[in-house]
Structure formats: C-alpha cells, structure tokens
Amino acid sequence: DTEVTQTPKHLVMGMTNKKSLKCEQHMGHRAMYWYKQKAKKPPELMFVYSYEKLSINESVPSRFSPECPNSSLLNLHLHALQPEDSALYLCASSQVIGETQYFGPGTRLLVL
C-alpha cells in the first residue's frame, strides 16, 4: 500500500483567514514533503521533514508554517496568504530521505 491522504481536497480562503492542510501516511515512512504546484508547471519543493525534524525549508514565506506532530502526520498551517499562493499543494512521503517519493492527491487552494 503506497497511499498518502490529504485533506481537504479543496479549500477557499480569504487573505485574513487561518487554515491548515493535513497529510497522512501509514506506510512507516520517515520522510515527508510539501510541494506547491502552479498550473502547467512541475511541483516545487517547499519543505522536507526527516524523522519529524525539519530538514529543508526552500525559503518559503513565513505565512506558510509546517508542522510534523508525529511520523504519520504532516500539517501545513496557512495564515495571511496572498492570491498568488493559489495552487495545488501536494504532500509526499518516502521510506527515508532519498528513497522513492509517493504523492498524495493534493489540496487545491484558492485565495481570494
């Protein structure tokens, strides 16, 4: 089973709202990733967690705040987003860093 789940599937939020995206995997993977994907573009890495510790932050604005409360769960907290942050947000996991990444279905975010 290589399933990564993400909730919600769609999210519409105003620029003053606070919301969170959730990602879950039960494959025992110890590396988890957040990507942002704009239309007709490849995914762009945002954050990497390894053994629940932040390993990479790709210079992402502080209005995006990741959290890894346990080895199965990865959250992305959103606050004061801009319309240009509207995108598909993808979560992925891998056994450990460097191994094959498996992606979730994504959360489509619209910021008004």
Partner 1 sequence: AQSVTQLGSHVSVSEGALVLLRCNYSSSVPPYLFWYVQYPNQGLQLLLKYTSAATLVKGINGFEAEFKKSETSFHLTKPSAHMSDAAEYFCAVRDLNTGFQKLVFGTGTRLLVSP
- Listed ranges 14-22, 40-48, 62-70, 76-84: which one lies at the site for partner 1 (CB under 8 A): 40-48
**Alpha carbon distance 51, 59 (integer Å):** 21
Q: Which of 29, 104, 109, 111 binds partner 1 (CB under 8 A)?
A: 104
The interface mask with partner 1, positions 55-74, x = CB under 8 A, is xx------------------
Q: Are 37 and 87 in contact (CB under 8 A)?
A: yes
Q: Which of 54, 100, 110, 112 binds partner 1 (CB under 8 A)?
A: 100
CA 84 from chain centre, in angstroms, equals: 17
Question: How many CA atoms, within 13 angstroms, populate the side-chain half-sphere of residue 17?
Answer: 13
Quickly tell me which residue has 């995206």 as its tokens.
Answer: 21
**Alpha carbon distance 55, 47 (integer Å):** 8
109 sits in which H/E element: strand 107-111
Q: Which of 1, 16, 28, 42 binds partner 1 (CB under 8 A)?
A: 42
Does residue 2 belong to the site contacting partner 1 (CB under 8 A)?
yes
With respect to partner 1, which residue has the nearer C-beta, 40 or 62?
A: 40
Site residues, partner 1 (CB under 8 A) = 2, 4, 6, 31, 40-43, 45, 48, 50, 55-56, 90, 92, 97-98, 100-106, 108
